[in-house]
Chain A
Amino acid sequence: MADAALGQEVAEVAIPTRAQVLVRMRLADKAFQYLTHAMALGVLGLLGCIIIALFIGSLPALRTFGFDFLLTQRWNPVTDKFGALAPIYGTIVTSAIAMAIAVPIGLLVAMFLTELCPLWLRRPIAIAVELLAGIPSIIYGIWGLFVFAPFLQAHVQPLLIDVFGEVPILSSLFAGPPYGIGTLTAGLILAIMVLPFITSISRDAFEAVPAVLKESAYGLGCTTWEVFRNVVLPYTRVGVIGGIMLGLGRALGETMAVTFVIGNAHKIAPSILAPGTTISATIANEFTEAVGDLYTSSLIALGLILFAITLVVLALARYMLLRVERRLGA
């Protein structure tokens, strides 16, 4: 009797606690879920906030100069007249130089890593390439300024001027005194910087090619180059282009490596040896010194333009890589 009563008492005490615990657990569960959900949505909010903040910040400049902002190259803080053409031009030219060099070299390195390299060497080289990708851009900048630019000035640029001096179109491209710093130097540094990105993404793409495809091509008597050119490249085209675009996105937005060696001259020179400027270098160089709302606002407007360009490039890159992933998943 006494035992049963005791048991009942215990049960009476325990049941409400258990219910409470369950309620508390359910609440905690929901709270945690909403918390994580909010954070995930916060990422979308972050992108939105960046765009809105940049847009609001650049309104004064856009209102004053209108569409002309994109089309003029005057950049005069004294008279408060600003145009974005020179930095936009510089950004595009340096990135073009970088891609023209880094894409073929990157693809060749990736080919070496997947087709030629002895197995035991593959991992070390791949890791080295990825470490190269992790080196902060300011290191490339300081190296470019103190080592690379003087080297180019002393050896490479005089040679270019001599060789192309007589050729009609190229002579204006390689005209002028060898400054060392300038558009070409910035493009070369960018090429070194994006090389690891392009290499590691195309290597991943090349490794995903089914062995059967390659083996059947070899079985038909193809050489390694023919297999690469006619089997591997077509099969991985979308992924490789995605990787290239990702590298392009980096090159367009890269700041520190370029700022050191571009020379910050707001003028479109026909010669790629001449100093120039890019959007990111202009912002980095002038933002803290910018006096007056219009000056600051013009720099933020430059940032908005850069963000818009890179968003499009990166979105395309991700879209292409996503397509590859889907195909591999299916």
Chain B
Amino acid sequence: MRASLYARRRRRNAVAMSLSLLATMIGLGWLVLILGVLLWQGLSGLSLKVFTEMTPPPGSDGGLLNPILGSLIMTGLAVLIGTPVGILAGTYMAEYGRYARTTTVVRFINDILLSAPSIIVGLFIYEVMVAPMGHFSALAGAVALAVIVVPVVIRTTEDMLLLVPNPLREAAAALGMPRAYIIRHVAYRAAKAGIVTGVLLAIARISGETAPLLFTALNNQFWSTNLNAPMASLPAVIFQFALSPYAEWQKLAWTGALIITLAVLTLSIVARAVTASKRPS
């Protein structure tokens, strides 16, 4: 009786452990599978032409130059708009309002915004920018992306500033520095790596975002740098091309997907490296 209970427990343990091993293998297997297919499909279409030619009309060859440019412009603009807002708000939460009630509320709301559906952001910007202006525009797309950047930057800025040891601030205050000076010249400097990481993660996050661009920046078949007109972006082009019946377009969609994934993975790995290099000191 005793022996059988023991055997049963051992058996149950073995089953559970093999299940967990299996689950891990499945989880990692998906990653390998997805990246493998992506590399396979994307690399076969990757050539210099992708970076030098415009998106083609259906049924002919071409590249992804205009969507790549559009993505770069809108991502850059979004970071320019979103980063200062995020850093300043994070500064309030970690410095001036560290113990304020507002901070708790803002942090809670910010954490919700951090994982709110991005398509809602698209609808919101459509309502407040596209509809009043009467047309889709790259600017609206950039603002939509900026709305996604802000929570990410706020979160990391606050976390990183909270890690800056207080004696540093006290020492600066003892020298007679005003608060704003201490924050800008001592706290920011100490937390620089972390804040940069936050910005990099935000870029990684928005460079693959499609939903907020669909009805703000729309898409554009042609080369355009006009911020007041629709602009192509890699994710939107992938969406359009992948769902099309044309083989050339589908191939370009895979190549675009590979470019985005590589960019995102590189950014996240660089972001990790930046924090890792700063941690010990």
Q: Which residues of A contact B (CB under 8 A)?
A: 25-26, 28-29, 31-33, 35-37, 39-44, 46-47, 49-50, 53-54, 56-57, 104-105, 108-109, 111-113, 115-117, 125, 127-132, 134-143, 145-147, 192, 195-196, 199, 223-226, 228-229, 246, 249-250, 252-256, 259-260, 280, 283-284, 287-288, 299-300, 303, 306-307, 310-311, 314-315, 318, 322
Give B258 Cβ to nearest chain A Cβ, in Å.
9
* Residue in A32, A128, A288 whose beta carbon sits within 8 Å of that of B215 in the complex: A288
* Residue in B31, B109, B110, B124 whose beta carbon sits within 8 Å of that of A49 in the complex: B124
Is B24's CB under 8 angstroms from A109's CB? yes
Tell me if B34 is interfacial: C-beta within 8 Å of chain A.
yes
Given the known A-B contacts A43-B110, A46-B113, are A138 and B239 also in contact in the complex, defined by CB atoms under 8 Å?
yes
Tell me if B226 is interfacial: C-beta within 8 Å of chain A.
no
Stretch in B12-20, B62-70, B163-171 touching the partner = B12-20
Q: Which of B24-39 contact A (CB under 8 A)?
A: 24, 26-28, 30-31, 34, 37-38
Q: A138-B208, A146-B41 are in contact. List 17 more A-B contacts (CB 8 A).
A: A28-B180, A32-B180, A40-B93, A42-B85, A50-B120, A53-B124, A108-B19, A116-B20, A116-B21, A134-B204, A136-B261, A136-B264, A137-B208, A138-B210, A145-B243, A253-B117, A311-B112
Is A136's CB under 8 angstroms from B207's CB? yes
* Residue in A29, A44, A195, A224 whose beta carbon sits within 8 Å of that of B13 in the complex: A224
For the residues of A in contact with B, the DSSP-based class is helix
Write out the residue numbers on chain A whose beta carbons fall within 8 Å of the beta carbon of B260.
Answer: 136, 138-139
Complexed CA–CA distance, A284 and B31 (Å):
26
Is B150's CB under 8 angstroms from A46's CB? yes
* Residue in B106, B127, B238 whose beta carbon sits within 8 Å of that of A57 in the complex: B127
Q: Which of B185-235 contact A (CB under 8 A)?
A: 204-205, 207-211, 214-215, 218, 235
* Residue in A104, A125, A255 whose beta carbon sits within 8 Å of that of B28 in the complex: A125
* Residue in A33, A49, A139, A252 whose beta carbon sits within 8 Å of that of B208 in the complex: A139
Tell me if B49 is interfacial: C-beta within 8 Å of chain A.
no
14 contacts between A and B (CB under 8 A): A25-B178, A36-B88, A39-B92, A44-B106, A47-B113, A56-B127, A131-B31, A136-B235, A146-B242, A223-B9, A287-B126, A288-B218, A310-B116, A318-B112
Complexed CA–CA distance, A108 and B124 (Å):
38
Complexed CA–CA distance, A260 and B253 (Å):
13
Give B137 Cβ to nearest chain A Cβ, in Å.
14
Write out the residue numbers on chain A whose beta carbons fall within 8 Å of the beta carbon of B246.
Answer: none
* Residue in A43, A142, A318 whose beta carbon sits within 8 Å of that of B253 in the complex: A142
Complexed CA–CA distance, A223 and B16 (Å):
10
Write out the residue numbers on chain A whose beta carbons fall within 8 Å of the beta carbon of B26.
Answer: 105
Complexed CA–CA distance, A136 and B236 (Å):
12
Give B226 Cβ to nearest chain A Cβ, in Å.
19
Is B9's CB under 8 angstroms from A226's CB? yes
Q: Which residues of B contact A (CB under 8 A)?
A: 9-10, 12-13, 16-17, 19-24, 26-28, 30-31, 34, 37-38, 41, 85, 88-89, 91-93, 95-97, 102-103, 105-106, 108-113, 115-121, 123-124, 126-128, 147, 150-151, 154, 178-181, 183-184, 204-205, 207-211, 214-215, 218, 235, 238-239, 242-243, 250, 253-254, 257, 260-261, 264-265, 268-269, 272
* Residue in A199, A223, A250 whose beta carbon sits within 8 Å of that of B12 in the complex: A223
Find the B residue at minimum CB distance from A35: B88
Complexed CA–CA distance, A310 and B117 (Å):
8
Complexed CA–CA distance, A284 and B235 (Å):
13
Complexed CA–CA distance, A14 and B243 (Å):
73
Find the A residue at minimum CB distance from B16: A225
Complexed CA–CA distance, A255 and B208 (Å):
12
Find the A residue at minimum CB distance from B31: A132
Is B128's CB under 8 angstroms from A39's CB? no
Is A135's CB under 8 angstroms from B261's CB? yes
Is B178's CB under 8 angstroms from A26's CB? yes
Write out the residue numbers on chain B whose beta carbons fall within 8 Å of the beta carbon of A127.
Answer: 272
Give B245 Cβ to nearest chain A Cβ, in Å.
12
Is B27's CB under 8 angstroms from A199's CB? yes
Is A195's CB under 8 angstroms from B88's CB? no
Find the B residue at minimum CB distance from A36: B92
Is A128's CB under 8 angstroms from B31's CB? yes
Is B119's CB under 8 angstroms from A195's CB? no
Give B167 Cβ to nearest chain A Cβ, in Å.
21
Write out the residue numbers on chain B whose beta carbons fall within 8 Å of the beta carbon of A147.
Answer: 37
Find the B residue at minimum CB distance from A252: B117
Write out the residue numbers on chain B whose beta carbons fall within 8 Å of the beta carbon of A135.
Answer: 34, 208, 261, 264-265
